[in-house]
């Protein structure tokens, strides 16, 4: 691993040569591509991410949504409250453990799924990449995230 790190550190510190900046710029570009399309649905990109979790499995505890989105549960609460105000989800405390809040899609939230799929297809088209390349890139980024998270956990434990 250190050989890979050393290879990137050799040479100048050009912004365009940094992986971190390429990821940062790509994140902003993809978010900008989603923004106007999601705006037509009346939701923001972070709200879209919450809905993606719920479209996979309805009635999910806030903590599980936070884990899936790699967010702090406290940061997620205002986002879920806004989705509830839009009529897309409902929040309900667990009957057995009132500390747990479960989020459920409303019928409007379920109905938004088909339109959101159209948004996803449009953004995929805008990338200019064939599906196979998108899938490969996504897989590599997931591997990168997992490696960095594992490395972070090892460092935190030390």
Q: Where are the domains of the chain?
A: 36-127, 128-158
Q: pTM of the prediction?
A: 0.84
Could you report the per-residue pLDDT of 125-142, keeping only the tens digit for each? 999 999 999 999 999 999
pLDDT above 70 covers a percentage of the chain that reads 88
Q: What is the mean pLDDT of residues 144-151?
A: 86
- Examine the pLDDT at 151 and tell me if it is beyond 80: no
| 3-class state of residue 59 by DSSP | coil
Q: What is the mean pLDDT of residues 110-115?
A: 95
Q: What is the mean pLDDT of residues 22-43?
A: 96
Q: What is the pLDDT of residue 108?
A: 97
Selection from 42, 28, 29, 15 nearest residue 115 by Cα: 42
How would DSSP label each residue in 68-107? HHT--HHHHHHHHHHHHHTTSEEEEE-SS-TT-EEEEE-H
Inter-residue contact 50 to 68 (CB < 8 Å): no
Q: What is the pLDDT of residue 73?
A: 85
Asked if CATH classification 1.10.10.10 holds for the domain at 36-127, the reply, yes or no, is yes
Selection from 6, 64, 30 nearest residue 141 by Cα: 30
Mean pLDDT of the chain: 90
Q: What is the mean pLDDT of residues 96-118?
A: 94
């Amino acid at each position: 691993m250190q050989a890979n790190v050393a290879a990137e550190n050799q040479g100048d510190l050009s912004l365009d040569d940094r992986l971190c900046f390429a990821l940062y710029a790509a994140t902003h570009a993809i978010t900008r591509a989603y923004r106007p399309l999601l705006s037509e649905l009346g939701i923001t990109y972070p709200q879209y991410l919450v809905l993606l979790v719920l479209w996979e499995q309805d009635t999910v505890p806030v903590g599980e949504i936070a884990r899936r989105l790699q967010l702090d549960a406290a940061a997620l609460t205002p986002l879920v409250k806004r989705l509830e105000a839009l009529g897309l989800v409902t929040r309900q405390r667990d009957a057995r453990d009132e500390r747990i809040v479960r989020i459920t899609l409303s019928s409007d939230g379920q109905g938004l799924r088909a339109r959101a799929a159209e948004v996803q297809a449009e953004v995929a088209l805008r990338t200019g990449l064939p599906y196979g390349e998108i899938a490969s890139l996504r897989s590599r980024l997931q591997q990168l995230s997992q490696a960095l998270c594992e490395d972070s956990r090892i460092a935190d434990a030390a």
